[in-house]
């Protein structure tokens, strides 16, 4: 991964942070994005002190289209040739029924998971086509396979990520660019705390009795998809805990 430039959205925690650590450990330079600049600064300091790589920080909310465009256009020349875009920024708020949830929260989820990903892709992929080189790795979810109780809108956004990933792969079929959808099942990160609107106890209880994936486990799949030879395209990886079978079926030991 040496001399590769990897752009990761939502890099301040969870799967995004784990990807940053994995790619940095393997010699990639990184452009890290998230809303939380302080957290990104800490991560940059940490990674640059451990590895001989450089990290450029680009804080923005992927929902803010004007700022996304302005920020990416402001990249210095040596940071413009992005090799790998990891569209990781995403969230879910609440576990409400489709006829009961909060429309403003759903706007946030839809605008981040779908429109934010699309904005990033629309801005960064043309440069990859010009250079005839690049890979787009979208972080989808097992939630995109089928709807589950309390997941209606989130599942819909991850089904959209699947369609957008497949569509992009079709649109790039006559190029050397590769397009990948990584679809994790249960991953124990701050993601679930946000899902339960900050209720850490409920989030922790959700993972009781099952050895959930870590952000690092998912980063391994992302890294694998990025490190196969150029003629190999990992279209999708569905990765879940050993004791999970589908979005709704998992086995939890009594604790
Ligand atoms: C999140 C994974 O299992 O909560 O994308 O749907 S799950």
- Rounded to whole angstroms, the Cα distance separating 113 from 62 reads 9
pLDDT of residue 72 exceeding 70, the answer is yes
pLDDT of residue 158 exceeding 80, the answer is yes
| Mean pLDDT value across residues 5-23 | 98
| Mean pLDDT value across residues 117-141 | 98
Q: What is the pLDDT of residues 141-152, one digit of tens each?
A: 999 999 999 999
What is the CB < 6 Å shell around ligand 1? 141-143, 184-186, 247
Collapse the DSSP code of 166 into the 3-class scheme (helix H, G, I; strand E, B; otherwise coil) and give the result: helix
**The pLDDT value given to residue 255:** 66
Ligand 1 atom closest to 148 (CA): 6
Domains, the chain: 5-239 (3.40.50.720)
Distance 16 CA to ligand 1 centre (A): 15
The residue whose CA has the least distance to atom 6 of ligand 1 is: 143
Using alpha carbons, select from 63, 58, 48, 62 the residue that is nearest to residue 79.
58
Distance between start and end Cα atoms, the chain:
42
Distance 26 CA to ligand 1 centre (A): 28
User: In the chain, what percentage of residues exceed pLDDT 70?
Assistant: 100
**The pLDDT value given to residue 141:** 98
- pLDDT bin (cut points 50, 70, 90) of residue 175 is very high
Inter-residue contact 31 to 84 (CB < 8 Å): no
**The pLDDT value given to residue 254:** 84
Collapse the DSSP code of 248 into the 3-class scheme (helix H, G, I; strand E, B; otherwise coil) and give the result: coil
- pLDDT bin (cut points 50, 70, 90) of residue 170 is very high
Q: What average pLDDT does the chain have?
A: 97
**The pLDDT value given to residue 181:** 99
Tell if the pTM clears 0.95, that is, is over it.
yes
For residue 68 the two structure tokens come to 């996304």
| Mean pLDDT value across residues 24-39 | 97
- Rounded to whole angstroms, the Cα distance separating 188 from 213 reads 6
Distance 169 CA to ligand 1 centre (A): 24
The dihedral through the CA atoms of 19, 21, 26, 30 has a sign that is positive
């Amino acid at each position: 991964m040496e001399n590769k430039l990897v752009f990761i959205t939502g890099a301040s925690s969870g799967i995004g942070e784990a990807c940053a650590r994995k790619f940095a450990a393997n010699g990639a330079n990184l452009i890290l994005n998230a809303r939380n600049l302080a957290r990104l600064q800490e991560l940059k300091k940490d990674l640059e002190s451990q590895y001989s790589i450089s990290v450029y920080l680009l804080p923005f909310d992927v929902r803010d289209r004007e700022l996304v465009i302005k920020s990416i256009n402001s990249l210095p020349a040596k940071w413009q040739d992005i090799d790998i875009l990891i569209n990781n920024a995403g969230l879910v708020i609440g576990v409400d029924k489709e006829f009961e949830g909060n429309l403003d929260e759903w706007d946030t989820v839809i605008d981040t998971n779908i429109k934010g990903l699309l904005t990033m892709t629309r801005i960064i992929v043309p440069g990859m086509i010009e250079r005839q080189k690049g890979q787009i790795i979208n972080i989808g979810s097992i939630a995109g396979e089928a709807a589950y109780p309390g997941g209606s809108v989130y599942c819909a956004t991850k089904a959209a990520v699947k369609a957008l990933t497949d569509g992009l792969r079709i649109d790039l079929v006559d190029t050397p660019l590769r397009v990948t959808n990584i679809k994790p099942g249960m991953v124990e990160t701050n993601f679930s705390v946000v899902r339960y609107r900050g209720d850490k106890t409920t989030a922790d209880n959700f993972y009781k009795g099952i050895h959930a994936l870590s952000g690092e486990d998912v980063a391994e799949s992302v890294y694998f998809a990025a490190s196969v030879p150029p003629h190999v395209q990992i279209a999708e990886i569905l990765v879940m805990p050993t004791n999970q079978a589908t979005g709704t079926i998992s086995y939890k030991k009594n604790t």
